[in-house]
Homo-oligomer: A and B are copies of this chain.
Amino acid sequence: MKRKKTPYVILGLLSEESLSGYEIKKYIDIRFSFFWNESYGQLYPALKSLERKGWIVSHASEDKTKREKTIYAITSLGREELKAWLSEPVEKESIRFEILLKMYFSSLIDEDVMLEHIQTFQKNHAQQLMILNMFEKELQAVKDIDNHGDILRVIDFGQKVFTAYDEWCEETKHYLETRKNK
């Protein structure tokens, strides 16, 4: 059974600090983007639903000089539910790599087109790897965060995987170049 996971990302982030919906989205886009994504269409309704269940509570922002926003805070019930979910087995992820599908059937198209695809894929992920390396450096500077080590482990996952991608791209480009010249 596929369980909705949006509520738990929200709970996770709110377990660290109270945030508005907009801030949660920002947070996910910046920190989690390499392994997670959420759209507003999922996020805002999920916040409403979590509040109805009593897992989170909202209050207006205090800084009256700025535009008011709705800040959400986790409740102790929400914290319990989060812990319960964290303890549950990880569901099998269903991944779809369009690039591999195209590579698999690439004999049907021009090598140069496939090379273009690989090039773009490689560039995109090199970019992501760079960002991760930056994050890692930043994190190593400030060691006072409590889940410092856990975050570094998550970043390391990205670094390992994106490095693997890069190597694959290099080899595959070479393969396609060779195939082209015969």
Contact surface of A with B, Cβ cutoff 8 Å = 5, 8-9, 12, 15, 32, 35-37, 79, 82-83, 86-87, 89-110, 113, 116-117, 120-121, 124, 146-147, 149-151, 153-154, 156-157, 160-161, 163-165, 167-168, 171-172, 175, 179
Taking CB as reference atom, which chain B residue is nearest A12?
A: B105
Q: How far is the CB of A133 from chain B (nearest CB, A)?
A: 16
**Contact A90 to B98, CB < 8 A, known contacts A150-B106, A150-B107, A167-B160:** yes
Which residues of chain B have C-beta atoms less than 8 A from A95's C-beta?
35-36, 93, 95
Question: Given A93-B96, A102-B86, are A175 and B153 neighbors across the interface (CB < 8 Å)?
Answer: yes
Check B92 against A124 for contact (C-beta < 8 Å). Answer: yes
Q: How many copies does the complex hold?
A: 2
Offer 16 A-B interface pairs, CB within 8 angstroms, sorted by A: A32-B101, A35-B100, A36-B95, A36-B97, A79-B108, A82-B105, A83-B108, A89-B120, A90-B117, A90-B121, A91-B98, A93-B96, A93-B97, A93-B99, A97-B157, A160-B168
CA distance A87 to B115 in the complex (A): 10
- CB contact between A86 and one of B83, B113, B165, B167 (< 8 Å): that residue: B113
Given contacts A105-B82, A164-B163, A167-B160, contact A179 B89 (CB under 8 A): no
Nearest-CB distance from A78 to chain B (Å)?
12
A8 to chain B, nearest CB (A): 7
Say yes or no: B101 contacts A113, CB within 8 Å. no
A107: nearest residue on chain B (CB-CB)?
A: B147
